[in-house]
Amino acid sequence: MSQTIPRTLPTAKLLNELQTFGARVVDPKAGAASRLGGAGPSDHKALTIDGVTIMVPVHTKPASSSPYLVELPDAQGASRISRNGIDMGAITFPGRPRFYDLTTDDGIPYSKIAVLHGADVLATTVLQSCVRYQSREKTCQFCAIGESLAAGSTIERKTPAHLAAVAKAAVELDGVKHMVMTTGTPPGKDRGASILAESAAAVKAAVALPIQAQCEPPDDDAWFARLRQSGVDTLGMHLEAVTPEVRARIMPGKAQVPLERYFSAFAAAVPVFGRGQVSTYILAGLGDTADAILEMSASLIALGVYPFVVPFVPISGTPLAGHPSPTADFMHGILAPLADMLVQAGMSAASVKAGCAKCGACSSLSTYEQRRHA
Ligand code: SF4
């Protein structure tokens, strides 16, 4: 007979372990469909534990030997989760969104235009191709943007009209609360800011939905005001790795944009979007030390930029498919002091208007913040 560990809140350690080990799921079809390939969390499944929804790797290589096992859902939709045979409580899977059943007038399933992330986030990759994805020398080694396109689970270019229709339906049918618009980097100097601006304007004309846009720093800082005027509420410009050696090794193409340009872009964007409304995504576990990530985070916070640090998860079909995830202890060593720094600076995931930092499903950082506040 299994032993049960009583809990009232998910511990940060439990969340860190689930996000780094992943989980074996007896019925991978339970809840909303998981996604293979693509930008953002791929090979993952959303699950909710004690009211917190997180993205947990289920289709990655390490997940197949995870100590965590999720049983079949019962009649109420709850599944027992155990760690090495010890019962850890119950989880649920967010259900399949209703907007997935719709198609556009030109016959494209809405699920190929945008997908549900976490509990209440609509996520889309406006342009599912990238100037840096053409050659393996330039490709970001962790990225799978071409995989879901090759698999036929998405389309290459989502038009503003597509996005407006899907966003409206996702709000009305499924109650989504905010939207993430990312993009592969097109060849132009604006780095995708132009298509993000036209997409945001179309969505905002259709429905009141807070939007985060994500792109590389564009050539001209004037794009920040244009994005804001188009209806973009928050902006993500993602460093991914923080030290020059790791940047050059993991993302040889994107590393050609120097850290200095990221910092000048952050300095120009924060006055436009507001303190804490500009963020960056940092993947821990790719070679940067905890100290390097914390040092970079301190510089970002001083500028008013929210550093969203997430554990690296190896995605099938990428050059890093066999690269290990960081340990839960490594994540704890970063996220605990980082949450202290954010709280001291008066910045929090809760006050971000839209996007990954607000969603928080890919990192337990916001759980650390809440505990620090408590
Ligand atoms: S944190 Fe960002 S990438 Fe992760 S599930 Fe939420 S919206 Fe998607």
Instruction: Report the atom number in ligand 1 closest to the C-alpha of 308.
Output: 1
Q: Which of 120, 133, 163 is CA-nearest to residue 39?
A: 133
- Pocket test residue of 55, 58, 308 for ligand 1, highest count of atoms within 8 A of CB: 55
Q: Whose CA is nearest to atom 3 of ligand 1?
A: 40
Please state the φ and ψ torsions of residue 26, each to the nearest 5 degrees: -60, -40
Q: Whose CA is nearest to atom 7 of ligand 1?
A: 356
- Give me ligand 1 centre to Cα 279, in Å: 13
Instruction: Report the atom number in ligand 1 closest to the C-alpha of 121.
Output: 7
Instruction: Report the atom number in ligand 1 closest to the C-alpha of 44.
Output: 5
Lowest mean pLDDT of 28-42, 50-64, 264-278, name the range. Answer: 28-42
Percent above pLDDT 70 for the chain: 94
Name the pairing type of β-strands 86-92 and 78-83. Answer: antiparallel
pLDDT, residue 297, reads 98
Determine the average pLDDT of the residues in 1-25. 72
Determine the average pLDDT of the residues in 131-147. 83
Give the neighbor-by-neighbor strand order of the sheet with 121-125.
115-117, 121-125, 178-182, 211-214, 234-236, 278-284, 305-311
pLDDT, residue 35, reads 55
- Give me ligand 1 centre to Cα 162, in Å: 21
Instruction: Report the atom number in ligand 1 closest to the C-alpha of 360.
Output: 1
- The DSSP annotation for 31-59 comes to SSPPB-SBSSS-SEEEEEETTEEEEEE-S
Tokens 């650390």, located at residue: 368
pLDDT, residue 373, reads 75
pLDDT, residue 40, reads 55
Tell me the three state secondary structure of residue 321: coil
Residues 334 and 315: their CA atoms lie apart, in Å, by 22
pLDDT, residue 6, reads 41
pLDDT at 344 over 90: yes
Q: Whose CA is nearest to atom 8 of ligand 1?
A: 117
Q: Which of 28, 56, 60, 173 is CA-nearest to residue 114?
A: 173
Q: Whose CA is nearest to atom 1 of ligand 1?
A: 356
User: Does residue 124 contact residue 114 with C-beta atoms inside 8 Å?
Assistant: yes
Lowest mean pLDDT of 26-35, 111-120, 263-272, 318-327, name the range. Answer: 26-35
Percent above pLDDT 90 for the chain: 78
pLDDT at 97 over 50: yes
Ligand 1 environment, Cβ below 6 A: 40-41, 55, 117-118, 121, 123, 180, 356, 359, 361-362
At position 64, the amino acid (one-letter code) is S
- Give me ligand 1 centre to Cα 186, in Å: 22
pLDDT at 260 over 90: yes
- Give me ligand 1 centre to Cα 1, in Å: 37
- Give me ligand 1 centre to Cα 2, in Å: 33
Instruction: Report the atom number in ligand 1 closest to the C-alpha of 180.
Output: 7
